[in-house]
Structure 1
């Protein structure tokens, strides 16, 4: 087995040299201004150490990767009652599709598409003022990353609010079916802001560590969620974490993962590590183009797929 430090350094160098970088998201104008010639990879291990390569000190908007953490919080508040409002099946549709939502009477297919994450945000908001709910989400991520430097990028949040017409349609549609309980503008305000949370790859990898270690934060030994809940969150990440590209990601990478249109991917190696990659250019499904390639190379070289180590015959 090659040394992780060597593999990470090699992958960072390979990604820096590639000309195919995908296309940055422009429907959120602030994201369209991000330089696509950036790449970072960070691997957080059980002993608390982190192996990094590339632009690991650069903060980026985690966008939909935040949905992993809002799902964790909502399950803590509502337990399995959450699944009365949100499904657990892959969507097979674009992340902001309204067609499926109409066919299924306002119940989002899973918590990682936009409609599902808005319903999850509504659960967190219930009984709180928007500022309180958003503060709880931000503090949770700061706690998991053990870093108060995790913050909200106000420029990105404002850009999302100005351009979030599709999300407003989804939220109002769910409100009409009674799936959304709180004031739509309040729910969307919290949603836009938690998607605009900014982190480095190192911070994000550390924040996801509890999912790699049966719900336990390896740095402190404290339980964040039960082992059963961690397994179930990982299962939803594996089947639904990359929108209509989830099957391709599972096929090529073989890990639970969650992507965001800011170019980040959080991937979980159960029992071993939490991995964060970031490259702003996206593929046709809205997932980081180089991020997916980097993770495919990492899992192949380290033998980390949940489906078993690769053989010489694997392509």
Structure 2
């Protein structure tokens, strides 16, 4: 198929910029409430590094829960399959910050991409480290896979989350009561809030996700970030759990492994072909980027990149 990706990406960016219904920004995190909902960016990075961008693709934004892809990768490298004794691998069917399932399932989060599961993953990374060291390890890893040392943590966002993240405090304390946090909740949460405050542009985020499109291989440094099997498993979790209780609908409409964040970003993977990042700050009713999902749906349809395509 002869496809002009530059033209397609440009058309998608133009279409999204004209849409009036854009969703609502995540105002419960005060620092995110100030983000302009008219922003839209998209970056498509092919396996060979060729990049096609549109809109605000070079403006940094708070990646929020997309960071969970990178901390999961780190945790699996640190403790391997032992992680699955502390967190499950099933879709939640509930909002990302729900406490309901934790009571029924005795403090074991349903998957590593809901907040409770990501807090357990972060607790794993804290093992043997002071919080500042764990934060540094996470940031270094993201910079490594993106091959970009300019990626940073937005300290204003981290402070905003720390001041208002009361539900996450409740989740952490609840799991601690069940013995599923090994560190004091305030220490684990300090790392968690900072990882969510990592700021990246669409171009940087697409670069950071490319190892998952390349079967676990680092695209520029050589060698492996993760094994081929682990890369496939991370992609599988992104497909089934990456959009919280909207994961099924996203798989139905887009058909790509992807992880969203309440900052309005989505990282999507086309195995063997591309890494895609989109950003539009307005969220739909389940906390995923409204226009980001629409853009990915259009892109997947035009390219035939759905993993379910023949």
TM-score w.r.t. length of structure 1? 0.97
Deviations 1:54-89 (A, max 9, x none): 001100000000000000000000000000000000
Structure 1 residues without counterparts, runs of 5 or longer: 310-315
**Which residue of structure 1 lines up, in the alignment, with residue 11 of structure 2?**
10
**Which residue of structure 1 lines up, in the alignment, with residue 134 of structure 2?**
133
Root-mean-square deviation (CA, aligned residues, Å) is 0.7
Cα distance in structure 1, aligned partners of 2:198 and 2:137: 13
Structure 2 residues without counterparts, runs of 5 or longer: none
Q: Is contact 1:47–1:219 with CA below 8 Å preserved after alignment?
A: no
Cα distance in structure 2, aligned partners of 1:33 and 1:11: 25
Deviations 1:210-233 (A, max 9, x none): 001100122333210000000000
**Which residue of structure 1 lines up, in the alignment, with residue 259 of structure 2?**
258
State the number of aligned residues. Answer: 309
**Which residue of structure 2 lines up, in the alignment, with residue 279 of structure 1?**
280
Cα distance in structure 1, aligned partners of 2:22 and 2:223: 39
Partner of 1:134, secondary structure, is: helix
Cα distance in structure 1, aligned partners of 2:252 and 2:151: 32
Runs of 4+ deviating beyond 3 Å = none
**Which residue of structure 1 lines up, in the alignment, with residue 299 of structure 2?**
298
Deviations 1:117-164 (A, max 9, x none): 000000000110000000000000111111111100000000000001
**Which residue of structure 2 lines up, in the alignment, with residue 54 of structure 1?**
55
Partner of 1:30, secondary structure, is: helix
How many Å apart are 1:14 and its aligned residue? 0.5
Q: Is contact 1:153–1:198 with CA below 8 Å preserved after alignment?
A: yes
Deviations 1:198-218 (A, max 9, x none): 000000000000001100122
**Which residue of structure 2 lines up, in the alignment, with residue 110 of structure 1?**
111
1:270 equivalent in alignment to 2:274: no
Cα distance in structure 2, aligned partners of 1:303 and 1:287: 23
**Which residue of structure 2 lines up, in the alignment, with residue 149 of structure 1?**
150
1:121 equivalent in alignment to 2:83: no
Query: What does 1:177-216 correspond to in 2, within 5 Å?
Result: 177-216=178-217
Partner of 1:217, secondary structure, is: coil
How many Å apart are 1:49 and its aligned residue? 2.1
Q: Is contact 1:46–1:219 with CA below 8 Å preserved after alignment?
A: no
1:307 equivalent in alignment to 2:303: no
Partner of 1:78, secondary structure, is: helix
TM-score w.r.t. length of structure 2? 0.99
Cα distance in structure 2, aligned partners of 1:167 and 1:43: 33
How many Å apart are 1:20 and its aligned residue? 1.1
Q: Is contact 1:48–1:219 with CA below 8 Å preserved after alignment?
A: no
Partner of 1:277, secondary structure, is: strand
Partner of 1:258, secondary structure, is: strand
Cα distance in structure 1, aligned partners of 2:221 and 2:12: 30
Cα distance in structure 1, aligned partners of 2:93 and 2:178: 22
